[in-house]
A and B are shown apart, each in its own frame.
Chain A
Amino acid sequence: MRKFTKFISVLCLLAMLLTLAGCSGTTGGAAAPSGSTPAGSTPANDAPDGDASDGAQDVNVLTWSNEATVLFLKGIAEDFHAAHPEYNLVVTEVPSAEIDSVIQTRIIAGDVDVVSFQTFSRPQEDWNADSTDKPAWQDYIDQGLLTDLTDQEFLKNYNVDTLMGNAYKGKLYSLTIGTVGYGGMFYNKSIFKELNLEVPNTWDELMDICETVQKDGRYSVVSVGAGDQWPLNIFANAIISANYGDGTKEFGQKLLTGEISHTDPEVMLVYNCMEQIAGYLEEGVLGISYSDAPGRFALGNMAMYIDGTWSWADIDKAGPDFEYGYFACPPVEARSDGLVPQDAIKYDLSFAVPTNAPNSPGALAFLDYVSQKDVYTEFINAIGFTPTQNDIQMENAFLNSMANILQKPTVNSEMFIYGPKGVGEYGANQFTFFYLKPLGGEFDAQGFAQMVEEDFDAARKALGSMN
């Protein structure tokens, strides 16, 4: 009977050894990119590839759930493998709401080769080092976790000026595939024609349009997928970008340092615009979820619809014959350079390569691959963003029509609008529509501005007492 005990003990030992071998294999494989994968252990995430036997290494690309992006990337996996037989493309998608924390955990666990970012916004610089938190992306770069792409060969395919808008300390840590505009709104061309309306050049003209549509009474004036909150809040950024343009950075600085107060006229201008447009939003707007919103616009009974330019694909899908256009949020005072209101853009889908990527040559090969003009053209057309390479033929008429609002685009204001460390709820949400009365909040424009300023004040004082 002792034999039985021994047998079990040996079995347990064996099992333990096996599991240990298994896990060391996984981590070992990740840590040694050039070595071949140890026998008997397969890296955790190569389930879909059947080519493990030919010794090809995975290039793990992490991106957020965006159907077009994910489909395209998964679609080019075969061609990529054909072009680089030594690599396999593996795409992992994460819900948008989780992307930041997943990037955070995986970038440094060192098991991903390409990660996706958007705009590198709100950097901590000398002037605000004590008063703001460092954003995650900056932390990565400062800790040397992202590869400097500035001297990469494939950059020559791009409009480097555009890319550099997303640079940090003069160096490029991410390759922006496309930009999107969300500084404006879509409009229904046939309603505008019917009511003799023109695309507005000033805020007052926009208000006149709203008033006209409301008086007419047949159509709802403005709608937005407010059920998800953020689609409406981005319009606050649009208002700031429209009015401050290239001065937005300075505006954000002054707000943070207290040089201007939220109740000063130049900030109240923003709050007042927010309050005014909120008054024209469709009834029941709080119940409209973002995913339904483009389809509802395509039904043709609303005059304007607040969303980012990327939604053209959903609108087209919902109403193939529906005619619509897009204009940027107009400033209170018409532009002095005579241009129509210019869009505020955001750097969307940008690829970065962690320095601890298990397969950084593969990651760079992937970036090089998608940068080839033909692949890039296909990519940018599939995702429907504004290209960052020059002279790209866009198939989509809507995207081509945006040229006149992209002559002097500004980077979206959210990049520069800070809240101080430890700031209270109102201050942290300083330009959020949902604290305003028409949207279920408890404040009018003035009252909200006051609450925000109080929170800023309190935070500045607390910071002073801490240091």
Chain B
Amino acid sequence: MNIQKTAASPGRMLNQKKHPLRLFPLWIVLLCMLPGVLHYCIFRLYPSMMTAYYSFTDISGVPGTTWKFIGLANYKEFFILQNPRDLKAALLRTAAYAFFVTIIQNSIALLLSVIVNSAFLKGRNFARGVYFMPVILGAAVVATIWKAIFSTPTGPIYLFMQNVLHIANPPAILSSRVYAFPAVIAAQIWQNMGYSMVIFIAALQGIDGTLYESASIDGASNWKMFSKITLPLIWSAISINTLLAIIGSLQSYELIMTITRGNFNTSTLGMMAFATAFGGGGGTASGAVVNGLRQGYAAAESMVLFAGVLVVTIISQILMKRAEVER
């Protein structure tokens, strides 16, 4: 997994000493680190810890309002008061979002990176550049592109359904309780596939070409070379990509927020927490709007999500390890 250049440097040799020379006065070194460390502690570590604390309070985003410790009430509300059918659906939706994004995004990325990396293909840099483009465009731009493509009744998808597929009353995809969710998943994959692909390409480029040559002299088929040489050698990249996609898609709500605002049964746990804390559709499992910027409740939703991410990450890592050993 060492894709980065690890060229040994002359500096390394000098670094072996146990107590490095204090070349610069410590106070100035520390002073320079201070803004970064302070910022990190204040805006990263502290908020991260406080989320757990706030989840046991009824704090609201409305300043000046008093708040108090309310024990497990937020969690109770989440797990007991919410309609069980909707709660199950929302949790399943979150899982489905992560599952489909991970599987589809990585499959396409792997397929395309193997092709793009193969010697015969012309214009591979162009292809790679194009596939990667949406990554840099960002959620707002991608969402707006998506809305334009799926708009009714002038968007190309609507026209396609109407004129080519001859559907009499085509649904407005992005405001349909059935089709909006798959469309958002597709947007997520469309945006991030290039990211996974770049990681795969890096891993593929790290494979020693002579391995293939000797294998092809031995008469190995393309499939055999792929499964016996390529796959094992890029397994760590697959593992990283899986992890990134799972964590990324479980937590990400930018596209949901920008495309549907959490409406039309597209809200996942991450979006629910966001909408509860800052307003918007889909703050609860039923899709209802939550009033009053209930950030304590949102913090509880975040904690449920965090627990989920933790469990899924651990399980997926164990599975990936096991699959690696079995090879």
Contact = CB atoms under 8 A, between A and B. Distances in A.
A and B touch in the complex (CB under 8 A): yes
B86 A425 contact: yes
B291 A135 contact: yes
Contacts of B224: none
A230 to B, nearest CB: 10
Contacts of B177: 434
A286 interface: yes
A423 B289 CA distance: 12
A9 B80 CA distance: 56
A105 B170 CA distance: 38
B82 A422 contact: yes
Interface in B14-45: 28, 31
Nearest to B291: A136
B171 A101 contact: no
A235 B92 CA distance: 33
Interface in B50-93: 61-65, 76-77, 80-86, 89
A193 B168 CA distance: 30
A361 B143 CA distance: 42
Given A462-B80, A462-B81, A101 B153 contact: no
Given A283-B168, A425-B286, A227 B152 contact: yes
Interface string A412-431: 00000001011111011100
Nearest to B66: A143
A289 interface: yes
Nearest to B87: A424
Contacts of B89: 425
Contact of B172 (A227, A427, A465): A227
Interface string A391-423: 000000000000000000000000000010111
Contacts of B81: 421-422, 459, 462-463, 466
Interface string A282-298: 01111111001000000
A436 B301 CA distance: 31
Nearest to A458: B83
A79 interface: no
Contacts of A139: 62, 291-292
Given A424-B286, A463-B81, A466-B80, A134 B28 contact: no
A284 B62 CA distance: 43
A459 B287 CA distance: 15
Contacts of B151: 289
A421 B78 CA distance: 11
B83 A104 contact: no
Main secondary structure of the interface of A (DSSP, over half): helix
B291 A133 contact: yes
A51 interface: no
A104 B62 contact: yes
Contacts of B280: 101
A285 B284 CA distance: 29
A421 B73 CA distance: 14
A145 B86 CA distance: 35
A429 B265 CA distance: 12
B286 A427 contact: yes
B76 A466 contact: yes
Nearest to B168: A283
Given A425-B286, A434-B177, A104 B169 contact: no
Contacts of B292: 104, 133-134, 136, 139
A102 B279 CA distance: 8
A97 interface: yes
Given A227-B175, A284-B169, A287-B158, A104 B61 contact: yes
A287 B85 contact: no
Contacts of A292: 153
B152 A425 contact: no
A250 B147 CA distance: 42
Interface in B179-220: none
Given A139-B62, A143-B64, A423-B286, 6 more contacts: A133-B290, A284-B153, A286-B152, A287-B158, A422-B286, A424-B85
22 contacts: A101-B280, A134-B292, A136-B291, A139-B292, A227-B153, A229-B175, A284-B162, A284-B169, A286-B169, A286-B171, A287-B169, A419-B288, A423-B286, A424-B83, A424-B286, A425-B285, A428-B287, A428-B288, A434-B177, A459-B81, A462-B82, A462-B83
